[in-house]
């Protein structure tokens, strides 16, 4: 399996373990497989039995083998077996699926160590990074940005691992107290938290700027865990497959997904699963008030917004106005025309681009199955309250956005819709209390997390300041 850049598909293809450690392509593009593997009837039938008899980790290994040919198959199986265990995940199925109401299900992705769906990919990345760095006798300094959950998931997955440091940028004051406590409470010598002035998009821009500095990146061995890293999406494909297998009895049945998203990573994995041939009907993009993606799928106009135009909402992990993974979908929409992708994304500084007049926009729903809608603060409060009162189920604000959009689309979708859960409600106590009148219970495994001492460095929104912090921290700390 070879990998190519969304901005230069003619460049020398890369192998999986190279892009695993590298993040962005040298030209600033994102890596994708040169072609998607195809799922045939026999494979889906075999996977149905495999999931039932051997579980999620075994299924994950088979999906990964389709995308990785430079790690031995037996090592991939060992890696997934270590990543997805009952010691790390609170449910033995790893990703259980439950019925909420007729035609609507919840895919529970928040059973991991930080109670967020990001654990599904990060636990795998931790194993992959440590494995490959040991093979190469190298070290790596991970640079990431988080709007809430990526940071804690990455840090919990990487803490104490050999050869790895983590530098995580967060938008100062933009995360909930629980999210901050999970991250800033860590005192491991290989973990560095940075609170940056601005919003998530500013943090993400700094990560891209540092990663685009080839000399700095090489000298300081900079790697990525954000969803610009292909391995994140590859890991997320697995739960689309497992969810489909659980809700169907035959390979001709389809289901749909409603996915709360700001950075287009979670739903991009669903798009790739659908391109592989997984029988997915619709992929519903659920946004909050920062509805850049909904605008695109409704009008064909992609207009990333400035930091000053990005709202602080009650579903903060989606307070994003420049969706990094969106470029991967546009590459597919442009039928692999890297030159066209490069041209379009070069227009972002001029306000964005429009495909409204492009005939390919007609393919967005017909061929790729996308739909979208926006949820507001009032919508998510009403949804949280309704789901709690009618079904005794408590969902977090982001998942509420997904449920709201799923219900909005249900009249136009003939297949069961699975809303992918984003996090446990405990991470957003203030909004939950506003919706139902009481704060959510703190699960026993998170007792005392709010009482931890914080370890975080405040920095200005400045690329050079972040680079200097990284240099100094590398010089002053050793990794095993």
Residues 6 or more apart in contact with residue 468 via CB below 8 angstroms = none
Cβ-based neighbour number of residue 215 at 10 Å: 7
Tokens of 314: 């009650």
Nearest to 122, CA basis, from 182, 53, 74: 182
DSSP letter at 165 equals E
SS3 call for 145: strand
Contact 294, 376 (CB under 8 A): no
Cβ-based neighbour number of residue 399 at 10 Å: 33
Angle at 257 between CA 252 and CA 262, to 5 degrees: 150
Sign of CA dihedral 182, 187, 190, 194: positive
CA gap 230, 23 in Å, rounded: 8
Contact 323, 295 (CB under 8 A): no
String of b and e for 348-380 (b: at least 16 CB within 10 Å)? eeeebbbbeeeebbeebeeebbbbbbbbbbebb
Nearest to 111, CA basis, from 450, 449, 421: 421
Classify residue 191 as left (phi > 0), alpha (psi -120 to 50) or beta. Answer: beta
DSSP output for 435-446: HHSSPPPPPGGG
Cβ-based neighbour number of residue 135 at 10 Å: 11
Tokens of 202: 């500013």
Tell me the sheet residues that pair with 458: 195
CA gap 11, 3 in Å, rounded: 10
Cβ-based neighbour number of residue 265 at 10 Å: 24
**54, 118, 208, 467: which is the annotated catalytic residue?**
118
Contact 256, 353 (CB under 8 A): no
CA gap 165, 153 in Å, rounded: 14
To the query of whether residue 118 is one of the catalytic residues in this protein, the response is: yes
Sign of CA dihedral 182, 140, 225, 98: negative
Catalytic residues: 118
């Amino acid at each position: 399996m070879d990998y190519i850049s969304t901005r230069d598909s003619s460049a020398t293809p890369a192998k999986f373990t190279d892009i695993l450690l590298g993040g962005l392509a040298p030209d600033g593009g994102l890596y994708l497989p040169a072609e998607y593997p195809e799922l045939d009837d026999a494979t889906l039938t075999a996977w149905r039995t495999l999931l039932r008899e051997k579980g999620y980790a075994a299924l994950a290994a088979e999906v990964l083998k389709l995308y990785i040919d430079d790690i031995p198959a037996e090592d991939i199986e060992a890696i997934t077996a270590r990543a997805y265990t009952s010691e790390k995940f609170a449910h033995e199925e790893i990703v259980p699926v439950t019925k909420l109401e007729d035609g609507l299900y919840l895919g529970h992705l928040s059973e991991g160590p930080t109670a967020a769906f990001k654990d599904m990919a990060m636990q795998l990345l931790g194993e992959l990074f440590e494995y490959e760095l040991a093979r190469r006798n190298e070290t790596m300094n991970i640079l990431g940005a988080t709007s809430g959950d990526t940071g804690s998931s990455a840090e919990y997955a990487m803490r104490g691992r050999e050869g790895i440091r983590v530098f995580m940028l967060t938008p100062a004051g933009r995360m909930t107290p629980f999210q901050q406590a999970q991250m800033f409470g860590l005192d491991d010598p290989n973990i560095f938290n940075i609170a940056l002035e601005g919003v998530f998009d500013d943090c993400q821009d700094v990560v891209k700027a540092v990663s685009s500095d080839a000399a700095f990146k090489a000298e300081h061995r900079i790697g990525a865990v954000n969803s610009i890293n292909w391995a994140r999406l590859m890991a997320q494909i697995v739960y689309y497959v497992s969810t489909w297998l659980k809700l169907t009895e035959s390979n001709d049945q389809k289901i749909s997904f409603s996915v709360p998203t700001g950075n287009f990573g979670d739903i991009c994995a669903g798009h790739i699963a659908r391109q592989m041939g997984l029988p997915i009907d619709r992929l519903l993009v659920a946004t909050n008030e920062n509805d850049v993606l909904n605008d695109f799928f409704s009008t064909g106009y992609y207009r990333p917004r400035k930091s000053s135009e990005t709202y602080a909402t009650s579903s903060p992990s989606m307070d994003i106005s420049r969706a990094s993974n969106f470029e991967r979908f546009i590459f597919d929409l442009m039928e692999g025309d890297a030159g066209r992708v490069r041209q379009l994304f070069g227009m972002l500084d001029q306000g964005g681009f429009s495909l409204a007049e492009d005939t390919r926009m007609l393919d967005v729903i017909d061929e790729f199955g996308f739909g979208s809608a926006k949820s507001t603060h009032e919508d998510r409060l009403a949804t949280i309250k309704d789901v709690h009162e009618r079904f005794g189920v408590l969902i977090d604000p982001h998942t509420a956005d997904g449920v709201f959009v799923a219900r909005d689309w249900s009249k136009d979708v003939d297949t069961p819709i699975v809303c992918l859960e984003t996090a446990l409600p405990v991470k957003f106590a203030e909004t939950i209390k506003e919706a139902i009148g009481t704060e959510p219970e703190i699960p026993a495994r998170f007792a005392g997390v709010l009482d931890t001492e914080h370890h975080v460095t405040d920095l200005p929104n400045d690329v050079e300041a972040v680079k200097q912090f990284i240099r100094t921290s590398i010089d002053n700390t050793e990794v095993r």
